């Protein structure tokens, strides 16, 4: 992993730890001294974030985590540093948003929770399903946390409707196309796991992790 990004993620984890790891993002904001406002859209500055008042409670919680990461990144001077160091990426704004999503995942699904679930269920689809439920996040968010948990490993994750892929993520691996059919027998034979989930959008989860 890029040294700057690694430092950035450690900084976010440290700020969360110093605040006592609250799972309520409004409570976290209060402990960090960041004011949360409700408005028409979501935006952040160093000491204040505005979160869209629309959507579900889970969506607002995820949006709050996202905007808190923007605010913390500004406070830690990482936004400018990333813009300078990563200026050559094709779409810098999109790049920053993706990094912010990974940061929000750390706040919503702390390392201790992830480690506990992996200890119980292993590197499996069941662990992803349980992570989504216990952290009160979408299956997409839980899958992203799992797939990017260790970028040095080959990891792939799919969300399926029937046998067909509607969401896919991978690190160090050539993932299948969205809309393609997952050949379950071959996937299991290669070491992948699947499980059904009724949490959020009903369907199945499939993951593989190189051990």
Is 197 found in the same domain as 104? no
pLDDT tens sequence across 159-197:
999 999 999 999 988 899 999 999 999 999 999 999 998
Is 58 found in the same domain as 87? yes
Mean pLDDT (whole number) for 8-32:
97
pLDDT tens sequence across 41-91:
777 777 899 898 888 899 999 999 999 999 999 999 999 999 999 999 999
Is 56 found in the same domain as 123? no
Q: What share of the chain is helix, strand, coil (3-state, %, to 5)?
A: 50, 20, 30
Mean pLDDT (whole number) for 26-34:
96
Is 117 found in the same domain as 97? no
Is 10 found in the same domain as 103? yes
Last residue of a domain, one of 108, 139, 161: 108
Is 81 found in the same domain as 61? yes
Reference 128, options 153, 152, 149, 107; nearest CA is 149
CATH of the domain at 68: 1.10.10.2910
Q: Is 51 helix (H, G, I), strand (E, B) or coil?
A: strand
Last residue of a domain, one of 72, 91, 108: 108
User: Does residue 140 surpass a pLDDT of 80?
Assistant: yes
10-26 in b/e form (b: 16+ CB < 10 A) is: ebbbebbeebeeeeebe
Is 123 found in the same domain as 47? no
Burial class (CB in 10 A: 0-12, 13-18, 19+), 67: buried
Domain range for residue 60? 3-108
- Residue 199's pLDDT is 66
The two three-digit tokens of residue 29, written as one number? 């904001």
- What percentage of the chain reaches a pLDDT higher than 70? 98
- Residue 201's pLDDT is 61
Q: What is the pTM of this model?
A: 0.92
Is 93 found in the same domain as 30? yes
> Residue 110: which pLDDT band, with cuts at 50, 70 and 90?
very high
CA 203 – CA 161 distance, rounded (Å): 5
User: Does residue 96 surpass a pLDDT of 70?
Assistant: yes
Domain count for the chain, please give it. 2
Q: Identify which has the larger pLDDT, 207 or 41.
A: 207
Q: What is the longest distance spanned by two Cα atoms in the chain? A: 52
Last residue of a domain, one of 82, 108, 134: 108
Sign of CA dihedral 89, 68, 115, 9: positive
Is 104 found in the same domain as 16? yes
Is 183 found in the same domain as 118? yes
Is 144 found in the same domain as 74? no
- Residue 45's pLDDT is 76
CA 166 – CA 159 distance, rounded (Å): 6
């Amino acid at each position: 992993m890029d040294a700057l990004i690694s430092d950035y993620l450690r900084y976010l984890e440290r700020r969360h730890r110093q605040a006592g790891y609250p799972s309520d993002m409004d409570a976290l904001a209060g402990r960090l001294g960041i004011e949360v406002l409700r408005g028409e859209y979501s935006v952040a500055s160093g000491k204040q974030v505005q979160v869209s008042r629309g959507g579900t409670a889970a969506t607002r919680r995820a949006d709050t985590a996202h905007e808190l990461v923007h605010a913390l990144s500004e406070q830690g001077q990482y936004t400018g540093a990333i813009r300078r160091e990563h200026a050559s990426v094709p779409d810098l704004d999109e790049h920053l948003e993706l990094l912010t999503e990974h940061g929000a995942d750390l706040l919503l699904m702390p390392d201790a929770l992830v480690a506990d679930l992996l200890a119980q269920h292993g590197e499996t689809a069941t662990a992803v399903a349980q992570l989504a439920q216990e952290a009160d996040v979408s299956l997409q968010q839980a899958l992203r946390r799992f797939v990017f948990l260790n970028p040095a490993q080959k990891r792939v994750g799919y969300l399926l409707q029937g046998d067909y892929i509607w969401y896919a993520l991978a690190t160090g691996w050539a993932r299948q196309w969205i809309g393609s059919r997952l050949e379950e027998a071959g996937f299991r034979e290669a070491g992948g796991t699947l499980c059904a989930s009724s949490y959020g959008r009903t369907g199945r989860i499939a993951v593989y992790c190189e051990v």
